[in-house]
Structure 1
C-alpha cells in the first residue's frame, strides 16, 4: 500500500513560571530542554472492512511509545511498526503517545475511516406495494442512490424509460409506455479498492393508466404538550407532487412541503387538512380533513405520559395496560388475564380495552385504569363508550356495569359513582357521560361488571376539565 505520511505536533511547553522561591536566574543560565521530534505515519486512512493499515513511528529522542487503535486489531502496541486490521466499518481514531528523553510528551492522532463492502441499493420517493412501485403513464420518477459503501460512479439502466440510461447519482426518469420494467444500477468505488457491484431489480416499475390520487398521511404522535411539534408524513397514493396543508392552531398554519413539521402552542383539539395532486394533472386531486391533534393543557390532568389510559385529556386508548389492576371485588383474585387491548373492537373500528367476564366464581369484578392526577380543583366531564357483547353462557341474565372515579383503588372505595349502564344492555354501544367536581388528588377510573357473561369493551375513556 502507498505510504502516506501524517506528522502532527502537539507541543507541550515547559515553563518555569513564578514560584514562591523564584527561578528567573536558573532560567537565564539554562536553555529549555529539547522536546524531541515526532515522526509517525500510516499507510492508509481510508480502508474497507477486513483491510489492514501499517503504522510506523520513527520519532527521535523517545523513551516510551504507546499506540492505541480504536476499532482495530490489535487494540494497543508499543512496537515502532504495527500492522492493524479493521474488521468493522466505522470511523475510528488511532493515537500514538510519545514520551521524550526531556520528560515531555506528545500525542499524534490519525483519523481512520473504514467503509463496508460496496452494495448498490435503489430508492424511490414513492410508496411501495408488495409488487413494486406503481405509477401513471407519463410520470417522472426520481431515483435515489441509497448504496452502501460510498460509491463514486453510477451506471443506471432504465428499461422502457426516457432516457434509457444515466450516470447521475440521483436521476429523474420518465415512463411513457404501459408495462412492467426492470431497473439496473451498477456502482463503482475507485477509492480505496476499485470494487464494482451491480443490482438488477426485476419489474420494479409498473406503469399503469392514470392512477387516481388518494390523499393520506400519518403523524409521529397525536397527543402533545403546548410548544411541542408533530412530524407529518404524506402517505398519499398516485405519486402526487403538490401538497397543500392547512394546520388549524398550528405554526405554521399552512405548508406545501411533502412532510412538514408543525408546532402547537395552545391546548385543544385541532383539524388537519391535506389536498394533494400531480402538478401535471391538477384536476386529479384528493383531499382529507380530519381531527388528528390533541394538545393537552399543562394544568389539567395527566402529569406523566399522555400515553396513560383514561388520563383525562384525550379519548384514545393505548396498548399498554401494564399498570391496570383487575381483581374480584373484595378479594385479591387476579383477573388480569381477562383484560386485554384490541386495536379493532372499539367504536368506529378504533381500539378498545376488552374485559372477558365469564361470571364463573366471581359474581362481581372491578378493575382500574392507570392513575391520573387532578392538579386544579374544578368541574370535570367524565365519559366513556361501553359495549356488552353477549357470550353463549349469558343465558338471558342481565348484564350491568358501573363506572366510578376512585382514589388510588384503595379498598374499592367509590368516591364518585359516575354512571350505571341499564340492566340487560346487550350488543350495542352506550355512552356514559357525567360532570363531577374534583379536588386536587390522584384518581383511578373503576369499572365494575357483574351478572351475565359478556365481552365488555371500553372505548374513548376521557376525563376533561370543563
Structure 2
C-alpha cells in the first residue's frame, strides 16, 4: 500500500521506537517479532516531468526493509537500491517506475509510480517576410517544439503590439528594424519557453540591394577578391531564420574582400548626393575571435571613368560564431559627383596577424537603405 509520512507522524514515531526495541532484543524469534512492524511506504515528488529536464525525487519510507530495488525505465539512473534517489528521464512518453521491497520477515511487496515524461518545450517561429515597407504586414508562424498550448507575442512597433494567437498577422508602422519576442506555455506540465529575435524584420523604404538575402537560392551580384577571386557558396539557414546565406573558406587569406559591384545596368544602385544611407550585413564565422572587419565602405564605381568616391564606415568588429549585424551610416557628400553604381564593400582580416587560419565566414541580409 502507498502511504505518506505527513499523514501519520505519531504512528511513525511509535514505529521508530518499536524498531529500536526489536533490534536490541536478542532472544525472541525474528519472524514473529518483526511481523507487526513492516509496511510499504514510498512516494514520488511529481507524476510529470520533462525529458532531460528536472530531477524527480523518489523516497522509500518503508518499515522493516531488508532489501529494495527501484527500476526507472529510460531513467538516469536506471536502477537503484538506496532509499532516496533523484532521477532524470531521458525520453518522452509514459513511464512506470517500480519499487520492489523485501522485508525482514522474508515477504516481498511491489508498488508502482506512473510518470508522464513530456518533450522539451522549445520556442521558435518564422516570419512570412523579413523586409517590408512601412505600413505593410507580416504573418508569424509558430514553429515551437513540444506542443505548447498558449502563446504570448510581443512586437516592437507592431499593431497589435501583443497577441495570444498562435500565428498572428502584424502591421508595422515604424521605419526601423524591429524585434519580436515569443513566450510559449504548455498547460499540462506548466513548462514555459521564450525566444527573442532582434532586428528580425527590416521595416522601411524599399532596399537598394537586389540579392542581399539570397532567398532566391542563388549567389549573384557579389564579387570576391584576395589577390584572386574565390567562390561564395550557398548554404541553408540564414540570419534571423531566413532560408539561405552564403559562405567562403577564409583559407589563409591575409584579408578577403567582398563587394557588390560591376552589375548590369538594370541592377545598378544609385545613391543621391546629400543623403544618408544605412549599410549593413550579418556576419559570423566557424571560429570565434580570430577574424575582424578590416574596413567597411559604400563605394562608387561608374565603370567608365573609374571613380571610387567612397564613404568609409566602422572597422575592427570581431566575428563570433553567432550572427551579428555590422552596419554604418554613409553620409553622401553633396559634391556634384555621379554615384550611379554604388555598392557595399568590406574586407575581413585576421585579428592577430597569424599566418594560418582556416575558418568559414558566413554572410547574409546585405542591405543599403536610405535614412529618412
Of structures 1 and 2, the larger Rg is shown by 1
The higher relative CO (CA closer than 8 Å, separation ≥ 6) is in: 2
Between Structure 1 and Structure 2, which shows a larger proportion of strand residues? 1
The TM-score, its normalising length taken from structure 2, stands at: 0.34
The TM-score, its normalising length taken from structure 1, stands at: 0.28
Between Structure 1 and Structure 2, which shows a larger proportion of helix residues? 2
